């Protein structure tokens, strides 16, 4: 890891600003580095201006990056779509199942607002929510690259792999989510959801409980009805934060959505919206606080 | 690792003392178990390196130091997040104005597309998938310094658009 002493006057101001920004977002900044950054920022208006410009480009990269087809995952994503323009896409649109024999080792990807059902024969079935990708791995079951997948396991248990963890689901329903950050697994009604640690020890997730893979095993209670609302074409909020609600709705749209009004981010929202009317939902959310909604081309919606 | 696990199972009484102390520090049984396990591994590792028997006092010191480290990391993380929020707020009005023009986003997209494949993948994993440097390093089998280098390289390329701001 690079250290503070490397950010100095030998670099031009914009390079210094960029390096500070990267360090701030790295998750590894130390207290001494934070103090040095604050001193650097306070040093001159030129430093602050360099930082402001770097921040604008940094933020723009988040929006524009979602439309860059070069990420390995996205390349696979596109390939799956090209391949899927035939049988699988038609089946998905029509809400029909896809036989396991058609799955092979390929990737299954849903576009914004799309859902897809994958029939697994005796193992049961997956339903993929919007903006999701599920892969089948040789000998390791499935892996959710990103998005959300509901599993109804049949008589034969289904294995899902995430890094060095394994999850085995038997007889019933489980839900997997991987939006921003580590995988979350929820036991909706399965007889068994067993999580195997990298060292081989196993923990059982009780029904109506979930667990996120980043922490020690601490299951927390969930409401299965609320979690599976999307399978009924609904997005449900009950006392949710405004920023979280907007993020959830945005998953059903091809746009990035930015909430620029910081004052309302933590305000609480309740309501039920239709997944196929996500833009209407977004407008309704904006209206609750008299916010303005601007569509910037096909990429971005700014709520301010 | 198997040897360590075997050692850990042998000295249950010492572990129990550590766990009790850890519960007193963390006030959370699961955090306490994690802390105890980490302290125990470090204790065994220290013993392995020196071949000298380490007493319970040494183990307790490891436990306390680990706990203090964890608190420090959490505190710094919260401060860094607050700092990022300030920077975002300071840039927000300009960002809104700039993004109102679609050309900027298109130019940013073009720069990202022309990055070397590895740099582009790492940068997008960080910015779009929200993965930390450590998570990317683990997933791609790289050092965190390498991840840092690629993220910085991408950000420096984007800097070519600075004149448009």
Nearest CA in chain B to A297: B102
- Crossing angle for the helix pair B56-99 and B29-50, to the nearest 10 degrees: 120
What is the spatial distance between Cα A81 and Cα A42, in angstroms, rounded to a whole number? 50
pLDDT, average across residues A199-211:
90
| Pairwise CB contact (< 8 Å): B129 & A24 | no
Indicate the DSSP class of residue A206.
P
What is the spatial distance between Cα A93 and Cα B1, in angstroms, rounded to a whole number? 50
The band of A49, judged by pLDDT with boundaries at 50, 70 and 90, is very high
Long-range residue pairs from B146-151, CB within 8 A, at least 24 positions apart, any chain:
B147/B122, B148/A1, B148/A2, B148/A22, B148/A23, B148/A26, B150/B118, B150/B119, B150/B122, B150/B123, B151/A22, B151/A25, B151/A26, B151/B122, B151/B123, B151/B126
Selected residue with higher pLDDT from B28 and A207: A207
pLDDT, average across residues A50-76:
73
| Residue B147 CB contacts under 8 Å (≥ 6 apart), including other chains | B122, B126, B133, B136, B137, B140
What is the spatial distance between Cα A76 and Cα A133, in angstroms, rounded to a whole number? 10
| Pairwise CB contact (< 8 Å): A58 & B95 | no
**Measured between CA atoms, how close is B87 to chain A, in angstroms?**
7
| Pairwise CB contact (< 8 Å): A302 & B30 | no
Tokens of B133: 């440097």
Nearest CA in chain B to A49: B91
Average pLDDT, chain A: 80
Instruction: Kindly report, residue by residue over A154-204, the tens digit of the pLDDT.
Output: 878 899 988 778 899 998 999 999 987 789 999 999 899 999 887 778 899
**Measured between CA atoms, how close is B7 to chain A, in angstroms?**
16
Tokens of A288: 């609750």
Hey, which residues does A177 pair with through a beta bridge? A148, A184
B142 at A interface, C-beta within 8 A: no
CB-closest option in B72, B151, B158 to A57: B158
Confidence check on the interface: ipTM exceeds 0.90, yes or no = no
CB-closest option in A57, A66, A199 to B128: A66
Residues of B in contact with A214 (CB under 8 A): none
| Residue B25 CB contacts under 8 Å (≥ 6 apart), including other chains | B32, B35, B63, B64, B67
Query: Which stretch of A36-50, A159-173, A208-222, B24-38 has the lowest confidence by average pLDDT?
Result: B24-38
Place of tokens 């294995």: A159
pLDDT, average across residues B19-25:
84
The band of B12, judged by pLDDT with boundaries at 50, 70 and 90, is low
Residues of B in contact with A56 (CB under 8 A): 91, 94-95, 98, 165
| Pairwise CB contact (< 8 Å): B99 & A302 | yes
Query: Which of B 3-22 lie inside 8 A of A, CB atoms?
Result: 5
Do A112 and A131 touch, CB atoms closer than 8 A? yes
The band of A95, judged by pLDDT with boundaries at 50, 70 and 90, is very low
Do B59 and B39 touch, CB atoms closer than 8 A? yes
| Burial of A178: CB neighbours in 10 Å, binned 0-12, 13-18, 19+ | buried
CB neighbours of residue A198 within 10 Å = 9
What share of residues in chain A are helix, strand, coil (percent, to 5)? 35, 30, 35
CA dihedral A235, A240, A243, A247 (to 10 degrees): -30
């Amino acid at each position: 890891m690079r250290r503070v002493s490397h950010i100095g006057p030998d670099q031009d101001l914009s390079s210094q600003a960029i390096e500070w920004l990267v360090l701030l977002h790295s998750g590894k900044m130390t207290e001494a580095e934070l103090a040095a950054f604050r001193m650097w920022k306070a040093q001159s208006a030129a430093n602050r201006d360099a930082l402001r410009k770097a921040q604008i480009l940094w933020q723009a990269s988040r929006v524009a990056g979602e439309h860059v087809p070069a990420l390995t995952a996205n390349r696979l994503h596109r390939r799956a779509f090209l391949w899927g323009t035939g049988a699988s896409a038609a089946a998905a649109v029509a809400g029909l199942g896809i036989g396991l024999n058609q799955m092979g080792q390929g990737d299954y990807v849903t576009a914004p607002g799309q859902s897809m059902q994958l029939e697994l024969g005796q193992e049961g079935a997956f339903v993929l929510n919007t903006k999701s990708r599920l892969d089948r791995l040789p000998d390791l079951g499935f892996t959710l690259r990103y998005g959300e997948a509901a599993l109804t396991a049949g008589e034969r248990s289904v294995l899902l792999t995430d890094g060095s963890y394994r999850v085995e689901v038997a007889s019933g329903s489980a839900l997997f989510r991987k939006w921003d950050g580590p995988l979350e697994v929820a036991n909706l009604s399965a007889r068994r959801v067993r999580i195997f640690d990298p060292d081989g020890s196993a923990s059982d997730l009780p029904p109506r409980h979930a667990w996120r893979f980043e922490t020690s095993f601490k299951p927390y209670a969930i409401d299965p009805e609320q979690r599976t609302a999307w399978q009924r074409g609904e997005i449900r909020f009950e006392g949710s934060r405004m920023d979280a609600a907007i993020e959830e709705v945005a998953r059903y749209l091809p746009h990035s959505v930015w909430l620029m009004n910081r004052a309302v981010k933590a305000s609480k929202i309740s309501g039920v919206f239709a997944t196929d009317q996500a833009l209407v939902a977004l407008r309704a959310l904006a209206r609750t606080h008299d916010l303005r909604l601007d569509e910037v081309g096909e990429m971005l919606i700014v709520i301010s | 690792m198997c040897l360590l696990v075997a050692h850990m199972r042998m000295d249950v009484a010492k572990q129990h003392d550590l766990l009790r102390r850890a519960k007193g520090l963390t006030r959370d049984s699961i955090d306490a178990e994690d802390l105890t396990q980490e302290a125990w591994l470090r204790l065994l590792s220290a013993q392995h390196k020196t071949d000298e028997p380490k007493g319970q006092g040494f183990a307790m010191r490891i436990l306390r130091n680990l706990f203090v480290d964890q608190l420090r990391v959490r505190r710094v993380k919260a401060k860094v997040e607050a700092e990022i929020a300030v920077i975002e707020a300071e840039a927000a009005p300009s960002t809104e104005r700039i993004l109102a023009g679609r050309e900027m986003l298109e130019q940013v997209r073009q720069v990202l597309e022309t990055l070397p494949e590895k740099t582009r993948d790492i940068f997008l994993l960080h910015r779009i998938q929200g993965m930390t440097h450590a998570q990317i390093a683990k997933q791609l089998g790289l050092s965190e310094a390498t991840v840092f280098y690629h993220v910085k390289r991408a950000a420096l390329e984007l800097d070519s658009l600075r004149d448009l701001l």
